[in-house]
Structures are given as C-alpha cells and as structure tokens.
Amino acid sequence: MINILQDPVFRVTDHHHPHTLTLPEVLEALGRDAVDHFLGLQGHQQDAVHVFLSYLAATILARRHETIPRQPADFWLSGFRALARRPDDDAWTLVVANQDHPAFLQPPVLSPPALSPEKYPTPDALDVLNSSQNHEIKKNRASHAYPDEWIYALITLQMMSPYLGQGTSAISRMYANQRLIVEVTDNLRYGPRWSHAVTRLLAYRPTLLREPYLYRDDGVTLTWVPPWPVGESLSLRELDPFYIDISRRIRLVATDTGCQALKINPTNDNTPRIAAKTQNGNLGDAWIPVNIDPGPKNNLPHRALSTEKVDAAFLQRILFERHVILAPLQRPERAWQESLYFIISLLIRGKNAGQTDGFSRTVLRIPAPAQHTIFGPVAQRDLWGDYSARMINDAQNMQRILKTALMAYLEAGPEQLQRQRQSIRKWRERAMTQWTAQWQTQYFSHLWTAIDKNSSMRTAWQEDLAGFAVTVLNQAERTWPTPANRYYRSCVVAHNTFDRQLATTFPDLTARRRPS
C-alpha cells in the first residue's frame, strides 16, 4: 500500500499552486527549483528530510557517474530501484503486509516479537517518541494523517533518534545521544540548498572511500532492506559512505482509518543497526563537525561534536574552527559571493534518561565581508576568532557581575547572600534568560560590523553589555517582589554592587563611563 516511487503522495507547492508528487518527481522538482514548500513537513523535520534526500541523490549520481543533480524523474526512479537491490518495490512502500519483506524505512520482522509491540496511531506520536517537550507540538493530533506525514515522521525517527531506554538504540552518526546537522548554504530555498549539498557530497565521496574509513563504493545504502536479526548489526565495511541510518524496528500496518505504527521490540534488544560504537559518531558524516580535545592530555579519540545548547559561544566555536574539524557541508563553494546562511539544528538531550528536551534550530546570516574572513586565510580567521572569543569572555564576565547584583537586590543587601534559596534562584534564572537573549541577539551584529570595518569595537561591545545588564537590573527592580520598607535599600545595594564589580572587571570601561 502506497508505493512512494509510483504514487504521488508528497504534497508540495510551486508558485503557490499545490500538487502531489512521487519521490522521483520530488527530486526532479528540487533540481528545477520548483518547490516552494512541503505541505505537512514540520520545522523540526526539515533538516532530517534534507539530509535523507541529499544522501540518496548523491549515491544514485555517484553510482551512475553523473555529477549534475538536475535529472528527470525516470533517472531517479531507476536509481531508487537499483539501491534497493530487490525485484519489487517493497523497500519504497509504506505498508507491506508480508513482514518478512522490508517496507519503507522498516526492516523485515524475522520472527514474532517476544513482547507485545507498542502502538503509535498517528505520525506525530511516532515522531516525538518519548519526548518531554513534544518539540513544541502536541502528540496524537494527526488522527487522519496524510501519507507524507508518516514518511516525514519515519525519516525523523530513524535518522535522528538517540538512545531512549531499554529496547532502543541510538543512530550511529551520533555522540552523547545528540545528532547535529550543521550546514553552510547560500540559498534557503529547498531546491538550491539540496542541489548544492548533493554537489558537495559528490566531491567529498572519494575521501570516504579511502583509509581510515571502511566504506564500500557498492555498499548497502538502504539499511532497512537487509534483515536485522536479534543481537546482530551491520558493519561499516558493508556500507556505502552515504548510507541511511536507522535506529528502530518499526512496522506500519493497515487500519480501518489508514495505518498505524508498531514498534517491534524483540526481547528488549539494544543492539544497534550499525556496529560503530567505538567511532563515537566520527563516521565522516558531511553535516557533523568533529570535536578535538584541546590540551596536553588529548588522549581521547576524535568524536562527533555535541553540545547541551546552541548558543553564541557554540556557534562561534564552529565558525572559527576552535578545536573542531569542519565537515564539507560547513564550507562554502568558492563561487558563492553573496551572503551565506549558517544552519544548525539539534535534538536536545533531556536531563532524565529516556527523554529528549525539545528541538533547536538556528539560521545565522553571514554577510559577504565576514564570509571572506571566516572562510579565508587561516591567519586572518584565527585573528578574528581570538577577537570573537574575547567578546564571549566579556559577556561571561558581565553576566557574573549582573548575577551578583541581582542577588544583592533580592536579599536586600545582607552580608551573606542566601544563594541556594529556591525562590531566589527562580527569579534570577528568569532575569538571566532575558539577559542572554539581549546580548546574544546583538553579538554577531557587532562582530560582523567589526570585521567589515577591520577594526576593534570591543569597548563599544563592553558598553553595550553594560547597558544590557543595567536594563535587566532595572527591570528586576520594577517587577520583582521586595518588601516596601527595603525597596530603596535593595536598589542602592544592587547598583553599588554592580558598579563596584564593573570597576574591578572593566577598569577602562568604567573610566570612560565616569563623568568628567
């Protein structure tokens, strides 16, 4: 039921005209830049689907010794079928009754599961499996789902899932239960972004076919097609460099209202689909930077970059290659002359085992002058990398000053601040969220201006930081609960604390701010 190679199930718009396409027609439309929007594709699914389509297209082109992504649908149709290595289209069919056969992103079920399968009646219930935040959407809302919604949910689940407890496994292209997608592009439209990614993947492919990588030029791409016996994994030596990662034994079955997903859990088997644990996610993925441990005790293997949050410091680290090795998709083409867009998305690991804690996606515009610095000569990049790191350090120092002033205000100036009181921590955390949003919003604007002028603007940056901090402090005074008979004392103590620490930490700035 629903062969995505032949049945038009992908709802797209082109110049505001909706229509439906088969999977081969989707790639043809992307090559012609004829897709404005994928209806049913949610924000947190966009990058996973982009990676999926890019890897498939690059593999087909490489196998046919072609380099141009703009190809007709028939070209892609035969390419998809060749990747499956089967006489039928089961590997591209959403619901296959014979569970000994694969289905789309669903490995064969070799024997009945030891436990009753978990049921997911809607694609959003499947997609946000065990999510504590539901990625800002509500579970089980799509009671009458379109087929493409199941497709996007399957792609996101299979290609992005971390370890979520007994009976689950993480994808191979992941470290610390996190899968980053980082890309630089000069166009945010679906088609050009896809075409440029495919072109860069093809240029990168020969590297992945040499040591230390273990891939095969004719290896398995569709990892859901071979059987997945209990306790067994595919080795890297069996795989194509652009293999599609999967992490779950899932089967879609027909129901009276459409279909539902079953999570097959044979004996709570945690064996991953790909045997790559010792690689720590460092598998040559074109979207994942590699972390380098700094310092003399650099005895840990290089591993996929991970983070607890995507903030200005993390973005700065990647842009200026601070203890990271960039992957090909984080470098622009030489022909790109206009502004670039730095895209980074992350499924955030939850604090508790078996949880995710939301989804983060950032799109940062890099103007042309900054582009030439960041992706230009190493000496120039390092010079501005040091400068941008000092800007981050200024913000961290100002944050410490602000925290102390806020504590002084909340405690109305006692000699010993009661830093561990729960109510105080909550008020302070709200203020720090406001502070972080203010300075991080302006950080890159300051940096791009300094690069454009080729001149330090650090004093102006420090002054702005002080202004942001004072704004937060004044807002706290107006809104936070304080006994009326201590309000004036609280304000005086808070500002005195702020000014005193500002003079100690930023003496030059204080001198400039002091009236003559």
Which residues are 261's β-sheet partners? Answer: 120, 252
Q: Give the orientation angle of helix 46-63 with respect to helix 23-31, to 10 degrees.
A: 90
User: What pLDDT score does 434 carry?
Assistant: 93
In SS3 terms, 322-342 reads as CCEECCHHHCCCCCCCCCEEE
User: What pLDDT score does 234 carry?
Assistant: 96
What is the DSSP-derived secondary structure letter of residue 161? -
d(CA 266, CA 287): 32
Cα 376 to chain center, whole Å? 25
User: What pLDDT score does 337 carry?
Assistant: 77
Whether residue 182 contacts residue 294, with contact meaning beta carbons closer than 8 Å, is answered with no
d(CA 164, CA 262): 16
Give the closest residue to 194 by CA, choosing from 319, 60, 56.
56
User: What pLDDT score does 201 carry?
Assistant: 97
User: What pLDDT score does 138 carry?
Assistant: 43
Give the closest residue to 340 by CA, choosing from 459, 192, 219.
192
d(CA 202, CA 501): 55
> Pairing relation of β-strands 220-222 and 239-244?
parallel
User: What pLDDT score does 88 carry?
Assistant: 96
What CA–CA distances, in Å, run from 5 to 24, 76, 278? 6, 9, 36
111 phi-psi bin (left φ>0, alpha ψ -120 to 50, beta other)? beta
Give the closest residue to 316 by CA, choosing from 374, 368, 400, 397.
374
User: What pLDDT score does 412 carry?
Assistant: 65
For residue 348, give every residue at least 6 positions away whose Cβ sits within 8 Å of its Cβ, in sequence order, or none: 178, 308, 309, 356, 357, 358, 359, 360
User: What pLDDT score does 384 carry?
Assistant: 96
| SS3 state at 448 | helix
d(CA 225, CA 35): 29
318 phi-psi bin (left φ>0, alpha ψ -120 to 50, beta other)? alpha
For residue 16, give every residue at least 6 positions away whose Cβ sits within 8 Å of its Cβ, in sequence order, or none: 36
Residue 220: in which H helix or E strand, if any? strand 220-222
d(CA 423, CA 498): 22
Whether residue 234 contacts residue 223, with contact meaning beta carbons closer than 8 Å, is answered with yes
User: What pLDDT score does 32 carry?
Assistant: 97
pTM for the structure as a whole: 0.91
Which residues are 14's β-sheet partners? Answer: 17
Residue 386: in which H helix or E strand, if any? helix 378-410
Q: How many CB atoms lie within 10 A of CB 456?
A: 11
Whether residue 392 contacts residue 402, with contact meaning beta carbons closer than 8 Å, is answered with no
Tokens of 126: 């499947």
For residue 30, give every residue at least 6 positions away whose Cβ sits within 8 Å of its Cβ, in sequence order, or none: 53, 69, 190, 191, 194, 195
> Pairing relation of β-strands 118-120 and 258-263?
antiparallel
| SS3 state at 1 | coil
User: What pLDDT score does 478 carry?
Assistant: 86
List per-residue pLDDT tens for the chain, 516 residues long.
Answer: 899 999 999 999 998 899 999 999 999 999 999 999 999 999 999 999 999 999 999 999 999 999 999 999 999 999 999 999 999 999 999 999 998 999 999 999 877 665 567 888 989 888 854 443 444 444 455 457 899 999 999 999 999 988 877 778 889 998 888 889 999 999 999 999 999 999 999 999 999 999 999 999 999 999 999 999 988 999 999 999 999 999 899 999 998 878 999 988 766 788 899 999 899 999 999 999 999 876 545 555 689 998 888 999 999 999 999 999 999 999 998 878 788 999 999 987 655 555 556 788 999 999 988 998 999 899 999 999 999 999 999 999 999 999 999 888 877 645 454 555 666 677 788 899 999 999 999 999 999 999 999 999 999 999 999 999 999 999 988 887 777 777 888 899 899 999 999 999 999 887 766 654
| SS3 state at 253 | strand
User: What pLDDT score does 224 carry?
Assistant: 97
Tokens of 317: 């680290």
| SS3 state at 304 | strand
